[in-house]
Structure 1
């Protein structure tokens, strides 16, 4: 009879690329870049180097699979800060995704866990109508008065702390209409907008402001219908087959060859979208389409810079002056290589004093649903982040990813005694509101 350890080894042999494992030279340059290594007081098993060693040991049958090994992989944020730090170019992102996929193949799960994962990855994040329905329930909770009553009677105290914290940072419902922006000369540019699942429901107003900014700067924007979740949450949770299913569904609707770029405004989504060519590399039907799709990917900040937003912002003459800072989206920075463009935009807004945040390039602890699955480590990472925020005391912390935004807002509410004067916002919201306040249409 085959035991669980043997099943897991076979799953690792099937899924984890040995050539990628052998790229690691064990040099240790990744160690100071890894948040979990730092926050576990330098435990090797919670470093990229240590995890790669465990991957290979399991694959080669040199260690017996147990809960401690699984915990090492579960503890990984997937922030991929180790990749820019690595002189050998180790592809840690694909390795941790392959590892989590192997765990799903080799692990026997209880019926309840199977049901929850099925409802999440085959329902909520595979069907935009289901996501819309779920968010509509949240909006009803916010608008009907239930939220006020629930908070007043302390009902949320009956739930795990992270649920109460997340409830406290839910974004406000989208307004029915937005103020008009000035219209600048048209640019000869046509872009498709990847609207996302959470961004087009829970953060719908941010999406609307994104489109308005692009159109203000003269771009023609089209929004393909029947888009699905990018697949990032699936891929990061070991459900790679389901992530590829979503990728194929998106490639089926992004078929307009005339577009110059496919733009997104969520760092986590953008990184996964930019690797569709990797995920579908051996798909006979979608491989070439995935390459074209990937080549046209661009982050919102990068596109806004190309369209001349910083130059336009410098023509405005605001009266007020507030301090702002920027928290990088890990995937936007480490996978897509975008870090200067958001800062260029923020520094061109003369109504703000920009101050760099120490450790802005390190993870905030959100990491998709990591802050739900690993709340203790996520909180430790966030606490360190908020110490740096308090050191410079900005009025606004700017982000470029919905998970980062909610995590930073949570940090402001839980660790800053003066959080009523401090907030976190998405860069699209900040720029849109800034233009409205300082122009007349």
Structure 2
């Protein structure tokens, strides 16, 4: 606890706070300011609260008051960083503030149980998550899901978790053996398969590997890798995130590769920020920097290494929904659009507000379901206005949230990852050649 207070009252933290010039350009970029319209629910207002803690104006016994309320309402989408003319490192300011809140609050027994199961007993273990996905597949196939949704019997947080379960087909492949390049070989990459992504959106991972291979890359998937720790960071459990980071660094740096490729925007940002997470670790600080220098989002990587452009025609109107952590955190927004525009026949229609969050935000849609629903409703209105029948994204949480959003809004649209679109184009090209 004293370490967190020391950090928030340190000279380094003050310098980050002083970057904010209170111009207010962040306000219109902030989803929670849009929902509540209050200064304290904007980045500028939250920075004022952080400054009050730094200056000792908010005592430790008052952390659970307004400070906790407005800090926990933040989606951490980091749209404010993109909008900020002064380069405020809002994410670096927010993380210790969240950790401070977590140390002062006493979660309910139910919340503690859900956290322990989800963050510590499931997410670090892909096998357990796959078993859970298989059980939920039965839940869907037996019709129990439809009954539960009609009766509306679940409490809010469980209802929010149930709402984002995608249509499941628990078919998994063995990643333990290296997958050779198809055609001319251009290199060797390590693939981050994730935890929730592999269990609940396995076709995305399978498509990613096929697309990388088709572009001339041997793909290895170190099986000792684990959850990236992003969800743990989001809710202030940084020690748990550090443990996961060390395991991933050990697993993925053990391989001789030109890049570490990840297909989830939120996970990719977490991996790229390991140097920040492990800055005070004498054994891992330098290794974390080397690790982060190799991490590439799959869109970022393919945009530079698309040796086999897609040729299969897909006559469809599509819209791309940015992952906030990809767009604002990694600053990758052009590349996925370029890849989609490379698909013959695909018409890409931009959203009116492409920089706005969908409400997923790590585990925010579970922790703050009512606010997340309002953010999602605004996003789905924007999606509906495009007339698209294909909604494309690049992040696990966004993918699940958008599937739920399409269903809730009654839209006639599919949700796919960028690599799934490329993979589909390659498949159609092959079918043409077989005729």
TM-score for the superposition, normalised by structure 2: 0.89
Give the C-alpha shift of residue 175 in structure 1: 4.4
Give the C-alpha shift of residue 150 in structure 1: 4.2
* 8 A Cα contact 1:231 1:244, kept in partner: yes
1:54 matched to 2:79? The reply is no
Change (3 A) 1:242 1:360: same
* 8 A Cα contact 1:15 1:99, kept in partner: no
1:307 matched to 2:305? The reply is yes
Q: How many residues align?
A: 419
The equivalent position to 1:423 in structure 2, one of 392, 398, 414, is 414
Give the C-alpha shift of residue 238 in structure 1: 0.5
1:192-231 maps to which residues of 2 (within 5 A)? 192-231=190-229
1:347 matched to 2:341? The reply is yes
1:68-79 maps to which residues of 2 (within 5 A)? 68-79=66-77
Return 298-307 or 119-128, whichever deviates more.
Answer: 119-128
Give the C-alpha shift of residue 168 in structure 1: 6.6
Aligned to 2:428: 437
* 8 A Cα contact 1:232 1:243, kept in partner: yes
Give the C-alpha shift of residue 407 in structure 1: 1.5
Change (3 A) 1:125 1:154: closer
Aligned to 1:3: none
CA distance in 1, matches of 2:397, 2:381: 19
* 8 A Cα contact 1:83 1:90, kept in partner: yes
Change (3 A) 1:307 1:167: same
The equivalent position to 1:297 in structure 2, one of 273, 295, 298, is 295
Change (3 A) 1:44 1:191: same
Aligned to 1:395: 389
CA distance in 1, matches of 2:3, 2:287: 29
Aligned to 1:25: 21
* 8 A Cα contact 2:98 2:236, kept in partner: yes
Give the C-alpha shift of residue 36 in structure 1: 0.8
* 8 A Cα contact 2:300 2:335, kept in partner: yes
List per-residue Cα deviations over 1:383-413 (Å, max 9, x = no partner): 1112211211101010001211122222221
CA distance in 2, matches of 1:409, 1:270: 21
Aligned to 2:102: 104
Aligned to 2:178: none
CA distance in 2, matches of 1:168, 1:279: 29
List per-residue Cα deviations over 1:290-317 (Å, max 9, x = no partner): 00110001011121222225x622xx25
CA distance in 2, matches of 1:439, 1:327: 28
The equivalent position to 1:364 in structure 2, one of 340, 350, 358, is 358
Give the C-alpha shift of residue 67 in structure 1: 3.1
* 8 A Cα contact 1:191 1:260, kept in partner: yes
Aligned to 2:266: 268
- Determine helix, strand or coil for the equivalent of 1:323: strand
CA distance in 1, matches of 2:103, 2:164: 36
Aligned to 2:127: 129
- Determine helix, strand or coil for the equivalent of 1:83: helix
Gaps of 5+ in 2: 175-180
Change (3 A) 1:355 1:135: same
List per-residue Cα deviations over 1:317-342 (Å, max 9, x = no partner): 53x52101100000001111100110
Give the C-alpha shift of residue 68 in structure 1: 2.7
Aligned to 2:326: 332
Change (3 A) 1:429 1:174: farther
* 8 A Cα contact 1:40 1:46, kept in partner: yes
CA distance in 2, matches of 1:247, 1:425: 28
Return 17-26 or 280-289, whichever deviates more.
Answer: 17-26
TM-score for the superposition, normalised by structure 1: 0.88
Q: RMSD between aligned alpha carbons? A: 2.4
* 8 A Cα contact 1:170 1:406, kept in partner: yes
* 8 A Cα contact 1:11 1:105, kept in partner: no
Give the C-alpha shift of residue 39 in structure 1: 1.8
Gaps of 5+ in 1: 1-6
Give the C-alpha shift of residue 34 in structure 1: 0.9
